[in-house]
Amino acid sequence: MSPVAPVTDPAERPIEVHDLTVAYHKKPVLWGIDLEIPKGKLVGIIGPNGAGKSTLIKSIMGLLPLSSGWVKIFGEPFKKNLKRVGYVPQRESVDWDFPVSVMDVVLMGRYGKLGLFRRPGKKDREIARECLEKVKMLPYANRQIANLSGGQQQRVFLARALAQESDLYLMDEPFAGVDAATESAIMDIMHELKDRGKTLIVVHHDLPTARNYFDMLILLNMRLVAFGPTEEVFNYELLQKTYGGRLTILSEVADAVRRKEI
Amino acid sequence: MPRFLKISLPALFLLFAASSAHAAKIGDITDTNVWDQMFRFFSLRDPSLRAVLLGSVLLGVSCGLLGCFIVVRKMSLMGDALSHAVLPGVALGFLWNMTKDPIAIFIGATIAGLLGTMVVYAITHTTRLKEDSALGLVLASFYAVGICLLKRIESLAGGNKSGIDKFLFGQAAALSQDDLILMSVITGVVLIGVGLFYKELLVCSFDVGFARACGLPTRLLHHGLMLLLAFSVVISLQAVGVVLVSAMLITPAAAAYLLTDRMHRMLLLAAIFGVTSGVLGAFFSFLGNSLPTGPFMVLAASTVFGMAFLFGPRHGTLARWWRQRSRTNRVERENTLKAIFHVIEARGFKGEGVSMEELAARRRETLDEARDRVRELKRNGLATYDVAGEATYLTPEGWQRARAIVRNHRLWELYLTSEANIAPDHVHEDAEEIEHVLGEAVVLQLEKGLHYATRDPHGKIIPSSAEIYQPEAGSPRDEAVGYGKRT
Amino acid sequence: MNEIIPPFNFQEVIVEPWTILGSEHVWVVLMGFLVTATCGSIGVYLILRRMALVGDAISHSVLPGLAVAFLAASLVAGSGAAAGGQMVEAAATGAHHNFRNPTLMFFGALAAGILTTMLIEVIHKKSRVKQDAAIGITFSSLFAIGVILISVFADKVDLDADCVLYGEIGQVAPFFSPMVEVGGVGIGTWPVVRMGTVALLTGLVIVFFYKELLVSSFDSGLAASLGINPTFVHYALMCWLSVVVVSSFEAVGAILVVAMLILPGATASLLSHRMGSIFLIVILHSALSAITGLHLGYWLNVPIAGAMVVMGVCFFTLAWMFSPSQGLLTRWLRLRVNSTSRQPAPEPGS
């Protein structure tokens, strides 16, 4: 259901998803998703809780097994194009008591480029410092991550993603629980990345701001409700379909599938 | 109160039965026959064996009951830490009188155990260390201190080991009369505690926030439970040993957990399993010569757990495999019915029955496979098989089911394409899976929601529920009705 | 009560271990240091990954692995007269001759470690039983089997209960174990050389796979997206742990090894926020515990491994009290300062 004209060269398409069905603990949470995301856009994923937004991101990256369908990143399966994808997970997924400094975390973003036995070198540190500078966290470079506020933690994650120097960025709720200053800082960086031709897919939790932040929106509620430019897609009818809850049958049947399996 | 009685009565019965047996004079024990030994063990005539039996029963009851609460609250390893932490207390209790004084050992061990749990709490709340590290730390540290103390005492006491080493792997035969009295008292306290505070413990274990909101003294209850746990661990030490006593807390309760969905039944089952493991363990160690009892009790408990895991009627592996198999068979049958329907539909619902060639061609299988499928249908009363003409005819029930499955499939496809906006070429595989899973209630909702549509996304007719469940003329078992030969 | 603590004679406790039998005790201390340092290093990752109790489980579970391996070996070798002669010789010197066969030990331990990990997974993934209970059930069953094996087959399996409970670190001294010669020069007794190799390999693994271990312990999502398979890392860690635990078995037994896994890393995490310093503190803690443990054990006449752990606990307690960032004393002082002064406490991270 993509109204954007498809680009002919598959290697130029950042993400192509075909008939993606994903089950979580044996219960289907995403049904038959088709997506073709064009290059250089800022795309938001919105939908109610439990709609499968994080699941979509994780299955695109191959972190969850697919019940059916396939995913291609720049025309290849994910494993072949690992280095071109940057991932910013949810903040809760990490233990913030870990004995690493801000600089250590950002350097982790360089590991993909380094391979198995090499250590981060001077060039990597330079890049890390630049990324920290961009998110305005350079003064904290040697601080342990436990002492940071929520907004600061998010910026560190963003710096790590920047350090990956990817072409495609997948972010899971980067704006959740951050202060206004951090939010606008993150937005600025996203625009800068977009201007440089990068593609960003962002799971977003807040409906009103979605309209202003993103070029295109994916409306998701267990299945794809709509995907297209924000002005076309952000209307009452489609939002009603997304958030409206008329699809109780879908979730009931999903439960039935899980129970029958067990 | 009735629940309390249900738990305590069997235990009390066993208690009385064990202690009121006659004391017979036992001559030299020379029998080596297993049956003789079994008889000797269970006939309750030998006073030292009676002690062993009684001790096993008591510890089985108290460990089984309390273990339920820690398994349900995911605190199993707290039991492990507690059981290792009591060791220095045992040593200190021993030092008090330089003899094996049960009361002194009991007090010392309980204090040490509680101290251990407090240290775990303190570490978790004042440092960055998480609970699992704190538990492991306390476990090993207290154990090391205990071992050093024990060895020191051993070297002081000279050659007389005074039974301290029995505390490490357990030796139920070392239980004295005083030990048994203490165990009975504590088990009684545990029974009374669990019986009186059952409701409160249940709520606290399930939902602490709610309990607090109801005004229950959750912290007090928690400490009370920890205290009872410490008591239970300490009295079981001599029989099971420091290293393994946590298994007697966890394993019978976990086995009970797999077999029931109700807490009071779980408590009863856990007590029974605890007693069984204790007695069996004591018996098997008795068969050998002065083998430690602890490991045998634990193995017995694990065997019970293993059996519950594999053979439990609801959650057991075997039961689940069986259900899975019957489900797979049902899906196979429904797919065959569907194929038959498709053949009949393809020729406009004209003609009689379906030949084996047509069925085999439809399913892209061999003739033999097709025959097997039809035989399976016949076994379930869904179709008949005419050997002469090599054809199959559906019985009324079979015809009903065939149409119902096709209806499910096409309804689901329509739903996915129209309501869920999924592309028409994506829905077939989904529907292949979902058609077997849709319940009648959901189907009625779907039909209503789709406004009783009659065509699926590929233009095929959707059989309607009303039409499928129309009462047929003639009796349902009559071969002549259904889709097939008419007389 | 007074007899429990013997009189502290400086000459006896501090000096004599080095003057009398000093050459023996050096090896004991070295072994203690190597065991604690190696266990402590891998223990750092166990603590960070919140798998301290899985580590506890694996350390208990190597017992049946060892018992089975030794039983198999003695069944195979036991038929020959040569084996009988070996047994007699072993009995005479009191040495554990089975421990001279490292491949056997490692194989048994690895098998036990993998079995433990798999059983825990099967129990809690395929049933309602949660992971904590699954760990408890698995290791206690396997440990019970091990104890029964060594009790029933006491003559064929060269392990006894005491060894399981607190090891026999004295056995590593040259009096009991032969020296390993390289080019005619004795570099150490067999157990020490074995442990030293394991320690060296552990150090190399940590150095070479530092990045991979760090990122998979910190953020498994990112690790997976970088192509590092979390299940593979988990199993690899468990295998490595099994090897370390079994190498330490002869010295410290199956239960004290848990202390050596957790104490150094826990102490270090109280004192530092950087991975590099944490490993340094682990090494320092190990060395101090080993040396002071010898003296304590000598003084009180208790198993040396136990004494080393007790000293390790003392150092942990000191760190807990006086840690500049998380110590109890520091907190108490901070509370006093805050309640007596009018100014609000400074905000962290501003």
Tokens 């020729």 map to which residue? B347
Residue A54: closest CA among A205, A165, A191: A205
Pick from C225, C274, C348: which is nearest to A61 by CB?
A: C225
Cβ-Cβ contacts under 8 Å, B133 against chain C? 47, 50, 52, 262, 266
CB–CB contact A63 C227 (8 Å): no
What's the pLDDT score for residue C105?
78
Pick from A223, A256, A262: which is nearest to B420 by CB?
A: A223
Compute the average pLDDT of residues A62-77. Answer: 86
Note whether B239 contacts C: Cβ–Cβ < 8 A: no
The pLDDT tens digits for B230-263 are 999 988 988 888 888 999 999 999 999 999 988 8
Compute the average pLDDT of residues B383-401. Answer: 83
The residues near B446 (Cβ < 8 Å, ≥ 6 apart) are A249, B411, B412, B415, B438
Compute the average pLDDT of residues C18-35. Answer: 84
What's the pLDDT score for residue B64?
94
What's the pLDDT score for residue B188?
94
- Taking 3-state DSSP, the helix, strand and coil percentages for chain A, each rounded to the nearest 5, stand at 45, 25, 35
What is the phi-psi region of residue B290: left when phi exceeds 0, alpha when psi lies from -120 to 50, beta otherwise?
left
pLDDT band at B8 (very low <50, low <70, confident <90, very high): low
What's the pLDDT score for residue B472?
57
Residue C173 has pLDDT above 60, yes or no: yes
Domain boundaries defined on chain C: 8-176+188-334
Q: To 10 degrees, the CA torsion angle through A162, A164, A166, A171?
A: -60
**Integer Cα distance of A134 and A141 in angstroms:** 13
CA distance B123 to chain A (A): 15
The pLDDT tens digits for C11-21 are 777 777 777 77
Please name each of the domains of chain A with its CATH number.
10-261 (3.40.50.300)
Amino acid identity at C128 = R
pLDDT band at B22 (very low <50, low <70, confident <90, very high): very low
Write the class of the CATH domain B2-24+31-312. mainly alpha
The pLDDT tens digits for A106-148 are 998 888 888 777 888 899 999 999 999 999 899 999 888 888 8
- Candidates A31, A144, A237, A250, partner chain B, best to mutate (most B CBs within 10 A): A31
Note whether C129 contacts B: Cβ–Cβ < 8 A: yes
Percent of chain B with pLDDT over 70: 85
CB–CB contact A224 B423 (8 Å): no
CA distance A90 to chain C (A): 10
The pLDDT tens digits for B270-306 are 999 999 999 998 888 888 776 888 899 999 999 999 9
CB–CB contact B295 C326 (8 Å): no
Residue A151: CB atoms within 10 A of its CB come to: 18
Note whether A223 contacts B: Cβ–Cβ < 8 A: yes
- Residue pair B61/B183 in contact (Cβ under 8 Å)? The answer is no
Cβ-Cβ contacts under 8 Å, C43 against chain A? none
**Integer Cα distance of C114 and C141 in angstroms:** 15
Residue A247 has pLDDT above 80, yes or no: no
Residue A64 has pLDDT above 80, yes or no: yes
Percent of chain B with pLDDT over 90: 25
Domain spanning B404-468: CATH 1.10.10.10: yes
CA distance A62 to chain C (A): 8
Cβ-Cβ contacts under 8 Å, B258 against chain C? 127-129
Tokens 């409701």 map to which residue? B199
Residue B164 has pLDDT above 60, yes or no: yes
Compute the average pLDDT of residues A62-85. Answer: 85
The pLDDT tens digits for C144-165 are 999 888 888 877 777 777 777 8
**Integer Cα distance of B108 and B85 in angstroms:** 11
- pTM, whole model, 2 decimals? 0.83
What's the pLDDT score for residue A243?
85
What's the pLDDT score for residue B25?
27
CB–CB contact C273 A144 (8 Å): yes
Q: To 10 degrees, the CA torsion angle through C297, C299, C301, C307?
A: -20
Architecture of domain C8-176+188-334: Orthogonal Bundle (1.10)
The residues near A30 (Cβ < 8 Å, ≥ 6 apart) are A20, A21, A22, A52, A55, A56, A59, A222, A223
Please report all neighbours of C, defined by 3+ CB atom pairs within 8 A: A, B
CB–CB contact A32 B438 (8 Å): no
The pLDDT tens digits for A153-201 are 999 999 998 998 889 999 999 988 888 888 888 999 999 999 999 999 9
What's the pLDDT score for residue B432?
87
What's the pLDDT score for residue B485?
57
Compute the average pLDDT of residues C218-231. Answer: 84
Compute the average pLDDT of residues C115-121. Answer: 91
Please report all neighbours of B, defined by 3+ CB atom pairs within 8 A: A, C
CB–CB contact A116 C48 (8 Å): no
Compute the average pLDDT of residues C185-202. Answer: 85
What's the pLDDT score for residue B29?
41
- Candidates C225, C231, C278, partner chain A, best to mutate (most A CBs within 10 A): C225
Does residue A63 or residue B180 have the better pLDDT? B180
DSSP states of B270-308 as a string? HHHHHHHHHHHHHHHHHHSSS--HHHHHHHHHHHHHHHH
What are the residue ranges of helices labelled H in chain A? 53-60, 102-108, 111-114, 122-134, 150-163, 180-195, 207-213, 230-233, 236-243, 248-261
Note whether B168 contacts C: Cβ–Cβ < 8 A: yes
CB–CB contact C226 A98 (8 Å): no
Residue C91 has pLDDT above 50, yes or no: no
Note whether C258 contacts B: Cβ–Cβ < 8 A: yes
Note whether C151 contacts B: Cβ–Cβ < 8 A: yes
CB–CB contact A32 B433 (8 Å): no
Note whether C303 contacts B: Cβ–Cβ < 8 A: yes
Does residue C264 or residue B39 have the better pLDDT? C264
- Mean confidence (pLDDT) of chain C: 82
Pick from C222, C275, C278: which is nearest to A108 by CB?
A: C222
Give the containing element (helix H, strand E) for B224: helix B218-240
CB–CB contact A99 C269 (8 Å): yes
What's the pLDDT score for residue B329?
92
The pLDDT tens digits for A1-52 are 445 555 567 777 888 898 888 988 778 888 889 999 999 999 999 998 878 8
Q: To 10 degrees, the CA torsion angle through C146, C149, C152, C155?
A: -110
Cβ-Cβ contacts under 8 Å, A246 against chain B? 419
Residue A16 β-bridge partners = A36, A72
**Integer Cα distance of B349 and B351 in angstroms:** 7
CB–CB contact C136 B79 (8 Å): yes
CA distance C212 to chain A (A): 8
- Mean confidence (pLDDT) of chain B: 82
- Residue pair B295/B244 in contact (Cβ under 8 Å)? The answer is yes
Note whether C148 contacts B: Cβ–Cβ < 8 A: yes
Does residue B348 or residue C1 have the better pLDDT? B348
Residue A141 φ/ψ, nearest 5 degrees: -50, -35
Domain B319-397 sits in CATH at 1.10.10.10
Least reliable range by pLDDT among B35-39, B99-103, B174-178, B315-319: B35-39
What is residue C69's three-state secondary structure? Answer: helix
CA distance A146 to chain C (A): 9
CB–CB contact A256 B320 (8 Å): no
Note whether B135 contacts C: Cβ–Cβ < 8 A: yes
Please give the sequence-ordered ranges of beta strands (E in DSSP) within B21-71, or none if there are none: none
What's the pLDDT score for residue C349?
44
Cβ-Cβ contacts under 8 Å, B308 against chain C? none
What's CA C9's distance to the chain center, in Å? 31
- How far are the Cα atoms of B92, B226, C63 from residue B111, in angstroms, in the given order? 10, 12, 31
What is residue A198's three-state secondary structure? Answer: coil
Compute the average pLDDT of residues C235-261. Answer: 89
Note whether A224 contacts B: Cβ–Cβ < 8 A: yes
Note whether A240 contacts B: Cβ–Cβ < 8 A: no
Domain boundaries defined on chain B: 2-24+31-312, 319-397, 404-468
Cβ-Cβ contacts under 8 Å, B132 against chain C? 50-53
What's the pLDDT score for residue C98?
52
- Candidates A17, A19, A26, partner chain B, best to mutate (most B CBs within 10 A): A19
**Integer Cα distance of C62 and C285 in angstroms:** 26
Pick from A95, A101, A111: which is nearest to C226 by CB?
A: A111
Cβ-Cβ contacts under 8 Å, C212 against chain A? 111, 116
Task: Show contacts of B154-157: CB within 8 Å, 24+ apart.
Answer: B155/C301, B156/C3, B156/C4, B157/B98
Q: At C202, list the tokens.
A: 């552990």
CB–CB contact C225 A85 (8 Å): yes
Note whether A253 contacts B: Cβ–Cβ < 8 A: yes
- How far are the Cα atoms of B31, B44, B45, B396 from residue B39, in angstroms, in the given order? 11, 9, 10, 62
Domains B2-24+31-312 and B404-468 belong to one CATH topology? no
What's the pLDDT score for residue B32?
60
Question: What residue in C sits closest to A93 (Cα-Cα)?
Answer: C219
- Residue pair B64/B270 in contact (Cβ under 8 Å)? The answer is yes
Please report all neighbours of A, defined by 3+ CB atom pairs within 8 A: B, C
CA distance C263 to chain B (A): 6
- Candidates B419, B427, B436, partner chain A, best to mutate (most A CBs within 10 A): B419
Pick from B430, B442, B449: which is nearest to A31 by CB?
A: B430
- Candidates B78, B131, B141, partner chain C, best to mutate (most C CBs within 10 A): B141
What's the pLDDT score for residue B116?
92
What secondary structure, in 3-state letters, does C79-121 show?
A: CCHHHHHHHHHHHHHCCCHHHHCHHHHHHHHHHHHHHHHHHHH
Residue B470 has pLDDT above 50, yes or no: yes
How many residue contacts between B and C have a Cβ separation below 8 Å? 192
Residue C23: CB atoms within 10 A of its CB come to: 10
